[in-house]
């Protein structure tokens, strides 16, 4: 049997699709399973043991964006001679390439009538706030596949683990020293910019200082190449020493580091999902996005979604930005996050 998943973007959504991948592999252990994915997100699953390979969808991952992107996808679906296409995407366009490629079984989401090209359709309520990973797992259920006991997962390569170990040694950090990672960035991907998802950098700094005081933790400030100013802002606010690793680590290496730290604190962003899926004890801070939909999909003793209830829009982030959200009036402060961090860390020591 030959199976293809089409979930091109973005990192958090891809991580939340890994339970569906695991369900397919468990049901069809001898199948060949490919994943058509964009270059932005490919690193989130490239080393996953349930996957045979990833296929590059190219920069134009949205088939509605250009004829060239649509034809590239069509050719990938056609060349694979697949028996089953799995499309956890809310788009009428996403279902057309596998249909035109002649794939006989096409399972995917049907949100607002946009799943017409699938012959195995999972209806998605526009108003019900369900976790995205559970919605994706509904596709497995529609295929008659058992979904119990599955969580999001990320698997760093052995080479990434070795590089992170060597980096920590060069920084003079011993194997048993407590580390806390602070990731103040996020809210930016090829499909949307929602910078208001970022908890204020002053709050990250105060939380980090408490971690250093209580646990003697070494603070690591993380981020991508676009987060250098945010990371420096946290460092400038910190009253204790911290190491700036923003722009220094690949996704693979952040996953490897996640297995090493005692706590990872980040916003609702794909890299925080990746760290949690890699095994890090994780605090994910929510503001204008809905934790009922996007909390880390890992065992509850491993991660906490910290938030204040807010009138989140129906439809989740797909409904667009929440321009009137203000962290001071609507979001959690340092005290609430600190309480959850202490409970998460000290409850597992």
The CATH label, of 2.30.40.10, 2.170.120.40, 3.40.228.10, 3.40.50.2000, for the domain at 2-142 is 3.40.50.2000
Amino acid 190: pLDDT: 57
**Residue 324 pLDDT grade (very low, low, confident, very high; cuts 50, 70, 90):** confident
* Residue range 9-62, pLDDT digits in tens: 999 999 999 999 999 999 999 999 999 999 989 999 999 999 999 999 988 777
How far, in Å, CA of 159 to CA of 6, rounded?
A: 27
- 86 DSSP β-pair partners: 5, 107
**Residue 319 pLDDT grade (very low, low, confident, very high; cuts 50, 70, 90):** low
In this prediction, residues 278-285 reach a mean pLDDT of 98
Q: Is the pLDDT of residue 325 over 80?
A: yes
Q: How far apart are the first and last CA of the chain?
A: 45
Amino acid 188: pLDDT: 66
* Residue range 211-255, pLDDT digits in tens: 999 999 999 999 988 899 999 999 999 999 899 999 999 999 999
* Burial tier of 349 (Cβ tally within 10 Å: 0-12, 13-18, 19+): exposed
Going by C-alpha positions, the residue among 40, 53, 46 that lies closest to residue 4 is 53
How far, in Å, CA of 332 to CA of 327, rounded?
A: 7
Q: Where do the domains of the chain lie? A: 2-142, 158-346
Domains 2-142 and 158-346 share a fold: yes
Amino acid 312: pLDDT: 85
Amino acid 293: pLDDT: 95
* Burial tier of 94 (Cβ tally within 10 Å: 0-12, 13-18, 19+): buried
How far, in Å, CA of 6 to CA of 72, rounded?
A: 13
Residues 6+ apart with CB under 8 A from 319: 313
Going by C-alpha positions, the residue among 57, 35, 59 that lies closest to residue 46 is 35
CA-only gyration radius of the chain, Å = 20
* pTM of the complete model beyond 0.75: yes
Amino acid 191: pLDDT: 60
Amino acid 335: pLDDT: 97
How far, in Å, CA of 269 to CA of 284, rounded?
A: 8
How far, in Å, CA of 76 to CA of 97, rounded?
A: 9
**Residue 280 pLDDT grade (very low, low, confident, very high; cuts 50, 70, 90):** very high
**Residue 127 pLDDT grade (very low, low, confident, very high; cuts 50, 70, 90):** confident
Domain 158-346 fold: Rossmann fold (3.40.50)
Amino acid 194: pLDDT: 72
Amino acid 192: pLDDT: 62
């Amino acid at each position: 049997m030959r199976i293809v998943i089409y979930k091109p973007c973005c990192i958090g959504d891809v991580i939340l699709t890994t339970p569906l991948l695991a369900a397919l592999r468990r049901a069809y252990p001898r199948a060949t399973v490919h994943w058509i994915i964009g270059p932005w997100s490919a690193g989130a699953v490239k080393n996953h043991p349930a996957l045979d390979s990833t296929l590059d969808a190219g920069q134009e991952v949205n088939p509605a964006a250009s004829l060239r992107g649509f034809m590239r996808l069509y050719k990938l679906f056609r060349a694979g001679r697949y028996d089953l296409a799995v499309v956890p995407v809310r788009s009428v366009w996403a279902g057309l390439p596998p249909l035109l490629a002649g794939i006989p079984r096409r399972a995917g989401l049907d949100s607002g009538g946009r799943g017409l090209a699938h012959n195995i359709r999972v209806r998605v309520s526009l108003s019900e706030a369900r976790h995205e990973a559970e919605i994706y797992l509904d596709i497995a259920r529609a295929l008659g596949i058992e979904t119990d006991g599955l969580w999001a997962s990320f698997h760093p390569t052995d080479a990434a683990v070795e590089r992170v170990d060597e980096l920590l040694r060069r920084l003079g950090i011993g194997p048993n020293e407590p580390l806390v990672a602070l990731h103040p960035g996020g809210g930016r991907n090829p499909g949307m910019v929602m910078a208001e998802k970022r908890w204020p950098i002053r709050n990250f700094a105060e939380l980090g200082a408490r971690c250093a005081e209580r646990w003697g933790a070494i603070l690591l400030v993380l981020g991508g190449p676009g987060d250098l100013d945010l990371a420096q802002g946290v460092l400038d606010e910190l009253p204790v020493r911290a190491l700036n690793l923003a722009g220094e680590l690949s996704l693979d290496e952040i996953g490897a580091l996640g297995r090493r730290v005692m706590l990872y604190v980040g916003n609702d962003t794909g890299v925080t999902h990746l760290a949690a899926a890699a095994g890090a004890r994780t605090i994910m801070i929510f503001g204008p996005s809905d934790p009922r939909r996007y909390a880390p999909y890992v065992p509850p003793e491993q991660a906490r979604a910290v938030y204040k209830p807010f009138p989140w829009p129906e439809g989740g982030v797909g409904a667009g930005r929440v321009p009137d959200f203000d962290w001071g009036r609507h979001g959690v402060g340092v005290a609430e996050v600190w309480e959850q961090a202490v409970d998460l860390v000290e409850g597992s020591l």
